[in-house]
Amino acid sequence: MRLGVFGISSASTHGPSATARLARRCEDLGYDSWWSGEHVVLPSPRVAPSPLNPTDPILDPMVHLGFVAAVTERMLLGTGIIILPQRNPLVLAKQVATLDVLSSGRFVFGVGVGYLEPEMTAVGVPMSERASRTDDHLAAMRAIWYDEAPVSFSGKHTTFRGIDAHPRPTHVVPIVVGGQTPGAHRRSVEQGNGWYGFFLSPSQAAAQVAGLRVAAERFERPAALGELEISITPPGPVSADTLRAYEDAGVHQLIVFPTAATNEADVERFVGEQASVVLG
């Protein structure tokens, strides 16, 4: 079982000194990856299903991961997730390529369609276009990363021709798809190196893995993508028993989240304990 950590880019640990110290500590403990999510804006006052209060700090994941890249050497750096339909695909493609180059190829591109209507509306993206924009943006980004110049692309939401952008990524950027819908399962099978489920128990993870298998029977998976890696953020600390249950469910990676931690010392204690349980 591989081990990652999520959520250090928010709450009490979002500052530079805590981030740097905890990132180095996780790397020393054997963590394989470090993940950062996003909400560009939050509804004020808070309304469901917003996960945070409007005054809760949460850093931009690309900027945060660039900082973490500078203070670490080995850990993979993942977005868990970027709300892709809210982003300009060419601007984001440049940011991803830049971070990939500066981290020596450690970047993992986790994407999702988003779910928070006030946020989507504020940035000018209709909820009805979330899925189509996500597929469109992924295709446009792959074109500017990998196609021969001059690069052209024509999609439902994005069109360009006769352009190029360098530096290009150092390798094929791994794409991890978040979401528990049939659409997310389809996108994972067709385009993802991995799938990411958030706050799922072992039984819930097993149900999602079953859904992904159904999607794999319906949709064609490019051979170059290889096996779909399953990553889960548990809803709480992992014990020896739940670790075995996640393994039995077909999970390859646990991305733990110190939800109950209220300060930097709590987070450091949590990542140490979870490393002992999962990595031995």
Q: What is the pLDDT of residue 185?
A: 98
**Residue 31's pLDDT is what?**
98
Report, as ranges of residue numbers, the positions in the chain whose pLDDT lies below 70. Answer: none
* pTM of the model as a whole: 0.97
Is 213 contained in some domain?
no
CB 203 within 8 A of CB 235: no
* Predicted local distance difference test score (pLDDT) of residue 213: 98
Token output for 131: 């899925």
Q: What are the pLDDT digits (tens) for 120-160?
A: 999 999 999 999 999 999 999 999 999 999 999 999 999 99
Domain assignment present for residue 126? The answer is yes
Residue 133 is assigned to a structural domain of this protein: yes
Number of domain units in the chain: 1
| Residue appearing with tokens 């096996």 | 227
Range of the domain at 114: 2-179+234-245+261-279
Looking at residue 104, which CATH number applies to its domain? Answer: 3.20.20.30
Q: Is residue 73 part of a domain?
A: yes
Residue 224 lies in a domain: no
Name 139's Cβ contacts closer than 8 Å, sequence gap at least 6: 153, 155
What is the per-residue pLDDT for 148?
97
CA distance to 26, 110, 169, per residue, from 161 (Å): 43, 27, 20
- Residue 62 has a pLDDT of 98
In a domain, 97, yes or no: yes
Q: What is the pLDDT of residue 202?
A: 98
Query: What does the alpha-carbon distance between residue 250 and residue 230 come to, in Å, rounded to a whole number?
Result: 7
b/e string for 205-243 if b means 16 or more Cβ within 10 A? Answer: bbebbebbeebbeeeebeeebeebbbbbbbeeebeeebb
154 within domain boundaries:
yes
Within a domain: residue 103?
Answer: yes
